[in-house]
Amino acid sequence: MTKPDDTPEPMLGRISVPKSYEVLADRLRQTILDGSLAEGERLPTERELVSQTGLSRGSVREALRKLEVEGLVKTKLGRLGGNIVSRPGNDSMAHVITQFVRGRRLSLRTLQETREALEPSLARLAAEHRSKDDIVRLRELNAEMGQALDDRNRFAAINIAWHNAVATASRNDLLAAFLYAISYDVVASTVSEEYDTPGLRKEVVGVHERIIVAIEAGDGDAAFRRMERHVKATRAKTRAREDSDLPPD
């Protein structure tokens, strides 16, 4: 199987021709991340970028489109509009993660496992880093849930907010963003299940309160354990649907 050795040694690596919009996107990205452009500042107008780079308007716009998806710029229309530098937010990351989940048709089981991996740790970190305001916020939301026992959808919505509030209290933006990204999908597949009765909802409020107590006391281990049990309980009740794919849309 020795093939005719026309070119024994490659000598030259594969030549890759970079596309102009990629190059521009990379350079703009670097400029932004360098800190040369503060958040909220406008980068040059499209026409300026054209004259600065020698590229066409189209290429410039394609580069901006990429940065937009990455969450590094937001485009505003009209006079005093422009392409404004912004910090990547939870939403931009959530968007991409959502495409990942849907595109690969990840099972509900996978999402549930992910949640079980994230939430206990978030609770522990919340216990270590929480502020007074965080506790107030958590109690507020939990009280709201207590008043929405009869409204399944409203209850579910506040429930998401509560779990994300725990994530916020953790002071870990990355983990919080992960949870934020999947929380919608998880709940969308979980809500309006037969197990979801007012009685069980009341139970949830009680469990939340005990978790809040642990967080307030700064007891990371307890917060971890209680949250772990809490999310696992959710899974147990969803087991019937396990391994099923996500509903379309």
The verdict on 194 binding its own copies (CB under 8 A) reads no
Q: In whole angstroms, how close is the CB of 196 to DNA at the nearest point?
A: 41
The verdict on 235 binding its own copies (CB under 8 A) reads no
User: For the chain, how many residues are written?
Assistant: 249
Can you read off the two tokens belonging to residue 130? Answer: 């929480």
Residues 6+ apart with CB under 8 A from 183: 115, 160, 163, 164
**What backbone phi and psi angles, to 5 degrees, belong to 72?**
-90, -25
Q: Which stretch binds DNA (CB under 7 A): 58-66, 122-130, 132-140, 233-241?
A: 58-66
Name the CA radius of gyration of the chain, rounded: 24
**What backbone phi and psi angles, to 5 degrees, belong to 62?**
-65, -40
Q: Which is nearer to its own copies, 158 or 223 (CB)?
A: 223
| CA 227 to chain CA centroid, nearest Å | 20
Going by C-alpha positions, the residue among 149, 216, 158, 224 that lies closest to residue 187 is: 158
Q: In whole angstroms, how close is the CB of 6 to DNA at the nearest point?
A: 6
**What backbone phi and psi angles, to 5 degrees, belong to 123?**
-65, -40
Site for its own copies in 97-136 (CB under 8 A): 97, 99-104, 106, 110-111, 113-114, 116-118, 121-122, 125
The verdict on 20 binding its own copies (CB under 8 A) reads no
The verdict on 236 binding DNA (CB under 7 A) reads no
Q: Which is nearer to DNA, 21 or 224 (CB)?
A: 21
Residue 82 binding: pick among DNA, its own copies, none (C-beta 5-8 Å cut-off by kind)? DNA
The verdict on 33 binding its own copies (CB under 8 A) reads yes
Can you read off the two tokens belonging to residue 180? Answer: 């934020």
The correct pick among 54, 103, 247, 248 for binding DNA (CB under 7 A) is 54
Residue 87 binding: pick among its own copies, DNA, none (C-beta 5-8 Å cut-off by kind)? its own copies
Can you read off the two tokens belonging to residue 86? Answer: 């912004």
Residue 218 binding: pick among its own copies, DNA, none (C-beta 5-8 Å cut-off by kind)? none
Q: d(Cα 126, Cα 111) in Å, to the nearest integer?
A: 22
The verdict on 65 binding its own copies (CB under 8 A) reads yes
State the maximum Cα–Cα separation within the chain, in Å, rounded to a whole number. 79
Site for DNA in 63-92 (CB under 7 A): 75-83
Q: Which is nearer to DNA, 14 or 132 (CB)?
A: 14
Site for DNA in 26-45 (CB under 7 A): 45
Q: Where are the beta strands (DSSP E) in 80-140?
A: 82-85
